[in-house]
Structure 1
Amino acid sequence: MSEDKMDLYLQQGMYGPLETKPDERHLFLGSLRERVVLALTKGQVFRSKPYKEAEHELKNSHNVTLLVNGELQYQSYSPYIQMANRYGVPFKIVSDLQFHTPLGIVIAADIAVNRELIYIQDDIYNRSVLKS
């Protein structure tokens, strides 16, 4: 075994397997931009009423997963969990204390969908983007 391969093997043993586009995965709660169907900022998740667009995607999209930012309080995202359960969509609560993201919820497909518009751009979104 060459020295480069040995070093790679040791690095993966100590730190885990190599990951493609780590910055993108941190932003999108473990998923890649090309797989995102819809993304909501933390501020949007705190809105008193869940977004109809999110319910539409959970109801009509196939092979998607609801990814929830674990930094948020349960009360803020529970309506989305209930929707996911209603439509049989699996969900994951992503808690990575090393990395912070402005996103609160991501609905991601199992394969690349390459949607151009993945954000709901309203006043809450605009305030979140201007803060960042």
Structure 2
Amino acid sequence: MMFAEVIIVAPRQVDDYLQEGIYGTRLPKQAERDKFLGTLRERVILALTIGQVMTDKGIKKLEEEIVSHPEAKMVFNGEIDSKFLEEEKRVANKYNIPYSIISDVEVHTNIGAVLHYDYAIDKEDIFMPEEGPAQEHEKDHKNENKFLYRLKKLFL
């Protein structure tokens, strides 16, 4: 006796057809592309947050990565005012790194700049650590613990 396998495929939602008609076919890993300003995470060399770009805290790291990857490209988040991108653009121009600015009012991300290739490199550590009040508090807490440990050791 033979059994036939029946696969039932749910019809696409009308909304899916409308979205595709308006915006085009969605690319694979669209959420990832939205986060990394149009590129995939596997292609990213360095991703700087909007805060790191606006305060120029990532300039040194950006320049180091550009020197190490002279064939890379840059993408900037169009939500950042151009006056905050001057240093990053200067560094990109200094090393002849092409860059573009991506503005998409419907997609919001905390990424301000991405240094990337057009192909996968699968770099593990692409983010520069945030230095802020949380890290400073953590350092103070560690130093306080060291002091208490030394004080206890002194009396024991």
Aligned to 1:120: 128
* More off after superposition, 55-64 vs 79-88: 55-64
**CA distance in structure 2 between the aligned counterparts of 1:28 and 1:45, rounded to whole angstroms:** 14
Aligned to 2:5: none
Alignment gaps of 5+ in structure 1: 128-132
Aligned to 1:43: 51
- Tell me how far 1:13 sits from its aligned partner: 5.4
Alignment of 1:93-132 (within 5 A): 93-124=101-132
SS, match of residue 62 in structure 2: helix
Alignment gaps of 5+ in structure 2: 1-10, 136-156
- What is the percentage of aligned positions where both structures have the same residue? 38
**CA distance in structure 2 between the aligned counterparts of 1:111 and 1:43, rounded to whole angstroms:** 27
- Tell me how far 1:55 sits from its aligned partner: 0.6
Aligned to 2:28: 20
SS, match of residue 101 in structure 2: strand
Cα contact 1:63–1:110 (8 A) shared by 2: no
Which AA in structure 1 matches 2:41?
A: R
**CA distance in structure 2 between the aligned counterparts of 1:102 and 1:91, rounded to whole angstroms:** 19
Which AA in structure 1 matches 2:28?
A: T
* 1:55 equivalent in alignment to 2:24: no
**CA distance in structure 2 between the aligned counterparts of 1:77 and 1:11, rounded to whole angstroms:** 33
Q: State which structure, 1 or 2, has the greater radius of gyration over its C-alpha atoms.
A: 2
SS, match of residue 66 in structure 1: strand
Q: 1:117 to 1:49 in 2, by over 3 A?
A: closer
Kindly tell me the number of residue pairs found equivalent between the two proteins. Answer: 121
Q: 1:18 to 1:40 in 2, by over 3 A?
A: same
SS, match of residue 86 in structure 2: helix
Using the size of structure 1 for normalisation, the TM-score is: 0.79
**CA distance in structure 2 between the aligned counterparts of 1:11 and 1:100, rounded to whole angstroms:** 18
Cα contact 1:68–1:93 (8 A) shared by 2: yes
- Tell me how far 1:82 sits from its aligned partner: 1.1
Which AA in structure 2 matches 1:86?
A: K
* 1:32 equivalent in alignment to 2:35: no
- Tell me how far 1:41 sits from its aligned partner: 0.5
User: Over residues 12-53 of structure 1, what are the superposed CA-to-partner deviations in whole Å (9 max), with x where a residue is unaligned?
Assistant: 554323311110001000010000000111111111455211
